């Protein structure tokens, strides 16, 4: 019966009475890749290659946001790249994929090419992605071609992703006192139900384990919550010491000693302190204390 129906559909298709199942695929192939025409914008610290169809004002807005978040990175970590950092700003899904973009993500940093790549989105969605991915780029520039533990890399990127502007100030500058905390709610719930990831496990997590669909959201949120704890209590010094050691030795275990002591002797004490801190933390979307 099935073979008869299939044969009938093939006959209809051949007669032009029924569209072939691959018609959409053929249209896609005929359309092919959109040709990319580039424009360029240079800011003080960034070289931005953007598609010519993107309004220059939009590219300038992104350039301004990059410069503003860079001020925060540099203020905390006292490092300035000797070269301009590279950015590609794509207009469409088609062109974004041509330069290596994953359609499931709106931006990425490629340590091989050195490019931060983003695609067009409404600013309220795009700006946090810019802050997040630009930190990956800055961190790589700081430490060099060494293995960066994913929990630290993503935890710090999410930290900067949530940085807000102080609307009460005349300059509306970004403020490290105004960090979105909504993602920490998940961690607080996990701590209260004893389902949080043990810090010993978090520190050893692989890239594949981190991005496991079942636990990915908690890995991101808890990495952020751990670095939020260190950033707030040490005003960035703990993260800076970690980054310096990673740059010096290229050894994540050596870098861990800057946070948790030699042979991780302070791990349990810090974990208990961290859990207590998170339980008491005001996790409204933005809180200043």
- CATH code for the domain defined by 38-145: 3.40.30.160
* pLDDT at position 231 over 90: yes
| Residue 15 confidence (pLDDT) above 70 | no
Residues sharing a CB contact under 8 Å with residue 38, sequence separation 6 or more, in sequence order: 49, 50, 51, 52
Q: What pLDDT score was predicted for residue 177?
A: 87
Task: Determine the average pLDDT of the residues in 246-272.
Answer: 95
196 by DSSP, 3-state: which?
A: coil
Domain segments of the chain: what residues? Answer: 38-145, 164-287
- What is the rounded radius of gyration, in angstroms, for the C-alpha atoms of the chain? 23
Q: Would you say residue 7 has pLDDT above 90?
A: no
pLDDT digits (tens, 9 = 90+) for 79-126: 999 999 999 999 999 999 999 999 989 999 999 999 999 999 999 999
Which two three-digit tokens encode residue 264?
A: 């991780």
Q: Is the pLDDT of residue 25 over 90?
A: no
Distance CA 195, CA 184 (A): 14
| Residues 161-182: tens digit of each pLDDT | 999 998 888 888 998 889 999 9
pTM recorded for the entire structure = 0.86
Average pLDDT over residues 185-200: 97
Structure tokens at 177: 């006192």
Closest CA to 248 of 125, 110, 144, 119: 144
Which position has the token pair 């931005």? 48
Q: Which long-range contacts (CB under 8 A, 24 or more apart) does 213-217 make?
A: 217/186
Over range 25-46, report the average pLDDT.
78
């Amino acid at each position: 019966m099935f073979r008869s129906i299939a044969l009938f559909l093939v006959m209809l298709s051949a007669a032009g009475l029924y569209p072939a199942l691959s018609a959409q695929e053929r249209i896609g192939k005929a359309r092919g890749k959109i040709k990319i025409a580039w424009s360029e914008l240079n800011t003080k610290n960034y070289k931005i290659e953007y598609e010519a169809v993107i309004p220059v004002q939009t590219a300038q807005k992104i350039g301004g946001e990059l410069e503003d978040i860079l001020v925060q990175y540099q203020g905390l970590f006292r490092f300035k790249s000797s070269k301009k950092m590279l950015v590609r700003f794509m207009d469409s899904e088609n062109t974004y994929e041509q330069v290596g973009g994953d359609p499931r993500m709106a931006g990425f940093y490629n340590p091989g090419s050195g490019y931060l790549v983003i695609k067009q989105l409404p600013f309220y969605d795009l700006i946090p992605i810019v802050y997040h991915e630009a930190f990956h780029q800055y961190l790589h520039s700081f430490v060099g071609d060494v293995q960066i533990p994913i929990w630290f890399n993503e935890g710090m990127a999410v930290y900067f992703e949530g940085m807000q502007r102080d609307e009460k100030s005349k300059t509306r500058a970004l403020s490290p006192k105004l960090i979105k905390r909504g993602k920490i709610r998940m961690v607080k719930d996990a701590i209260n139900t004893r389902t949080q990831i043990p810090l010993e496990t978090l520190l050893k997590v692989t890239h594949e384990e981190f991005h496991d669909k079942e636990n990915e959201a908690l890995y991101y949120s808890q990495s952020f919550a751990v670095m939020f704890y260190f950033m707030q209590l040490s005003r960035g010094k703990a993260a800076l010491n970690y980054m310096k050691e990673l740059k010096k030795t290229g050894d994540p275990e050596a870098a861990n000693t800057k946070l948790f002591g030699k042979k991780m002797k302070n791990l349990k004490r810090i974990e208990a302190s961290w859990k207590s801190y998170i339980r008491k933390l005001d996790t409204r979307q933005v809180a200043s204390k």
